């Protein structure tokens, strides 16, 4: 099957009350690990590439791997640019075979965000590519900003209708208290998400797909495994799974996960070397890494996203 854009998958997800997993890919084992789980569950999926992943693995390699994954699996797979910083990067991805792009203008003022997003939408739609915009700003992992203390970063529901109408975006990422990385809440802090904002946004945008970034659960099993085998991760706290399940059943149609995959891959490779200190064939430890990715994605599809048998 050729790569698809997100229109059909989001329409079905919205109507069916489930979400599509959007997983960051950086190499072959990650692509295969994710798609193996999707195939076993007959689940659609979004494979997304950040600017730094594009720099690391190089655009043509990532595109080719994801295209082969779609052909081989027969699943609906979208190749998506994650956090596109500007028009030039989005254009390069659209011209280079991506079927979906995010233009992240969330750090701009409202008017500038509308202008940069609109420019990308006009170009993308001419090429059958869907566009995700963002309103409101997530805390970054290095910001050390306490999520609930930083009210300014939440999406203002009063702005969403105007943003969507004037830009023509196909989906909208909003900030309701999630954040990127493995340290989403401080130790002892009760994880909270602003579901009231999500509800308000979806009331103002009926039927419109919402995107949740920074949605790794930071699965305790893998944090513990990293530390059991020589790592030194301080207390890492992610988004509670019941909150992700709730979001999936609401207007959230795309749930972004990167950190959980990084942790599973790293934990399994650390374990591999602890148990086999003599190994030096990458295929041996990367097999464990790939299997760990499959395990995480399988779990997410069944327990959080609800996207099994929706391909």
Residues that contact ligand G3H, how many (by CB under 6 A): 8
22: left (phi over 0), alpha (psi -120 to 50) or beta: beta
Q: How far is the CB of 58 from ligand 13P (least distance, A)?
A: 20
What would the x/- binding string for ligand 13P be over residues 136 to 175, using CB under 6 A? Answer: ----------------------------------------
Residue 215 binds which entry of ligand 13P, Zn ion, ligand G3H, none, with Cβ cut-offs from 5 to 8 Å by kind?
ligand 13P
Q: Does 52 bind ligand G3H (CB under 6 A)?
A: yes
**Whether 82 is catalytic:** yes
CB proximity list for 35: less than 8 A, separation 6 or greater: 45, 47, 69, 72, 73, 75, 77
- Of 213 and 300, CB closest to Zn ion: 213
Catalytic residue among 36, 82, 260, 288: 82
Q: Residue 209 and residue 232: Cα distance in Å, rounded?
A: 38
Asked if 42 and 33 count as a contact pair (C-beta separation under 8 A), the reply is no
- Of 68 and 141, CB closest to ligand G3H: 141
Q: Does 24 bind ligand 13P (CB under 6 A)?
A: yes
Q: Does 248 bind ligand 13P (CB under 6 A)?
A: no
* CA angle in degrees (0–180, nearest 5) for 288-51-67: 60
Q: How far is the CB of 226 from Zn ion (least distance, A)?
A: 22
CB proximity list for 196: less than 8 A, separation 6 or greater: none
Q: Does 272 bind ligand 13P (CB under 6 A)?
A: no
**Cross-strand partners of 23:** 47, 257
Q: Within positions 191 to 250, which residues make up the interface with ligand G3H, using CB under 6 A?
A: none
Q: Does 178 bind ligand G3H (CB under 6 A)?
A: no
Q: Does 216 bind ligand 13P (CB under 6 A)?
A: yes
Q: Residue 281 and residue 274: Cα distance in Å, rounded?
A: 15
Among 243, 147, 152, which Cα is nearest to 195's?
243
Interacting stretch for Zn ion, rule CB under 5 A, among 213-221, 231-239, 247-255, 300-308?
213-221
Q: Residue 99 and residue 120: Cα distance in Å, rounded?
A: 13
Q: Residue 136 and residue 285: Cα distance in Å, rounded?
A: 40
Q: Please give the residue ranges that form the binding site for ligand G3H (CB under 6 A).
A: 24, 50, 52-53, 82-83, 180, 258
């Amino acid at each position: 099957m050729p790569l698809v854009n997100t229109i059909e998958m989001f329409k079905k997800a919205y109507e069916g009350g489930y979400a599509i997993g959007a997983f960051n890919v950086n190499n072959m084992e990650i692509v295969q690990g994710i798609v193996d789980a999707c195939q076993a569950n007959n689940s659609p999926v979004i494979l997304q590439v950040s600017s730094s992943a594009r720099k690391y693995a190089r655009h043509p390699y990532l595109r080719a791997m994801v295209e082969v994954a779609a052909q081989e699996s027969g699943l609906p797979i979208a190749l998506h640019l994650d956090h596109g910083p500007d028009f030039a990067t989005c254009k390069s991805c659209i011209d280079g075979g991506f079927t979906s792009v995010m233009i992240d203008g969330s750090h701009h003022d409202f008017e500038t965000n509308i202008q940069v997003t609109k420019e990308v939408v006009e170009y993308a739609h001419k090429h059958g590519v869907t566009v995700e915009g963002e309103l409101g700003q997530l805390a970054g992992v290095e910001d050390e900003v306490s999520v609930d203390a930083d009210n300014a970063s939440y999406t203002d529901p009063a702005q969403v209708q105007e943003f969507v109408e004037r830009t023509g975006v196909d989906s909208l990422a909003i900030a309701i208290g999630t954040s990127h990385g493995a340290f989403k809440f401080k130790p002892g802090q009760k994880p909270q998400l602003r579901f009231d904002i999500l509800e308000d946004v979806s009331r103002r945008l009926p039927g419109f797909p919402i995107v949740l970034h920074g949605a790794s659960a930071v699965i305790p099993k893998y944090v513990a495994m990293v530390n059991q085998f020589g790592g030194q991760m301080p207390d890492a706290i992610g988004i509670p799974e019941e909150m992700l399940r709730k979001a999936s059943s609401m207007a959230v149609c795309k749930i972004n996960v990167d950190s959980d995959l990084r942790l599973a891959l790293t934990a399994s490779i650390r374990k591999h070397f602890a148990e086999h200190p003599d190994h030096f064939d990458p295929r041996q430890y990367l097999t464990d890494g790939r299997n760990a990715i499959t395990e995480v994605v399988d779990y997410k599809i069944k327990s959080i996203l609800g996207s099994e048998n929706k391909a």
